[in-house]
Amino acid sequence: MTIGASMTAFTCMLSITAPAEAAVVSLDLTNAGTPGQNITGVNYGFGSGTSGGGPKIVNDWFPGGANGDLAVRYLPGTELWNGLNTGGGLKIAMTGGNVSSKAYALNELISSTGVIWSDNWSETLFNYAPGGTQQKRANIGPGNYLGLQSQIGSDYYYGWLELTWNPSEVTSGVARLLSAAYETTPNLPIAAGSFTSVPGPLPIIGVAAAFAHSRRLRARLRTGSATKG
């Protein structure tokens, strides 16, 4: 390695930034948000009968009670609503169009790349019937996850929601929410279904330590050149 190359390495070490400590936190679905609501079970606890029920509104659910509102809806009457809608900065990853929530596979990265983020109920619901014409999202089998994104100021937080959705189990379909989590570090992607943070930037190396390393390296290079001479 030349002296010039060693200085380049030294400069690179100084340019590395330190991330905040990353952690993935589980989100409670049995006592979710404010007020605490149980949104597990068949159709979020509404069952699969013909009467259904009004929406359960879960305020301040994501991330970790700081921001983001979630509503779960099961109305099997003329509207045939079944699914989720969001507000308060919380959005769901879409592929585009009505009933188009994206299903992520286990460990697939959830980030801002390659998806549309929406809080529009016509897109985030699994089933609804605008004007009497029923629209249903395709089946979501076990081991699949919705992507979640919340914006606080200029920062974005990402999470996942494990669920199953069977559009043919009853007229309005059957959804089951199983588990959820979010990444506490802003702007850091999360792996679907994982409770381990994805690797972030390398930690910063102290200026003094980097400079000392560069001096030692240059001294070795000079010694080597003198020996060869």
Q: Tally the residues of the chain.
A: 229
Domain membership of residue 199 (yes or no) is no
146, 160 Cβ separation under 8 angstroms: yes
Residues 7 and 57 in one domain: no
Residues 177 and 220 in one domain: no
- CA proximity to 45, closest of 19, 82, 80, 15: 82
Residues in CB range of 117: below 8 A, 6 or more apart? 91, 92, 93, 94, 149
For residue 40 the two structure tokens come to: 């597990």
Given this model, what pLDDT does residue 99 score? 94
Range picked from 7-16, 51-60, 63-72, 112-121 for highest mean pLDDT: 112-121
Residues 156 and 215 in one domain: no
- Give whole-number Cα distances, 98 to 47, 77, 94, 131, 168, in Å: 24, 20, 9, 14, 18
Residues 108 and 213 in one domain: no
Q: Residue 11 class from Cβ within 10 Å (0-12 exposed, 13-18 middle, 19+ buried)?
A: exposed
Residues 138 and 83 in one domain: yes
Distance CA(182)–CA(57), nearest Å, equals: 19
Domain membership of residue 39 (yes or no) is yes
Domain membership of residue 196 (yes or no) is no
**Predicted model pTM:** 0.78
Given this model, what pLDDT does residue 54 score? 73
pLDDT at 37 over 60: yes
- Give whole-number Cα distances, 134 to 103, 114, 221, in Å: 21, 28, 74
- Max CA distance (Å), the chain: 92
- CA proximity to 184, closest of 39, 69, 66: 66
Residues 72 and 173 in one domain: yes
Which residue would you say has higher pLDDT here, 220 or 136? Answer: 136
pLDDT at 204 over 70: no
The total domain count for the chain is: 2
Given this model, what pLDDT does residue 60 score? 86
Provide the residue range defining the domain that includes 11: 3-15+204-228
For residue 30 the two structure tokens come to: 């049995």
| DSSP-assigned letter for residue 213 | H
pLDDT at 210 over 50: no
pLDDT at 221 over 60: no
Percent of the chain with pLDDT over 90: 51
Given this model, what pLDDT does residue 55 score? 85
Strand partners, 25: 182
Domain membership of residue 38 (yes or no) is yes
pLDDT at 2 over 60: no
pLDDT band at residue 176 using 50, 70 and 90 as cut-offs: very high
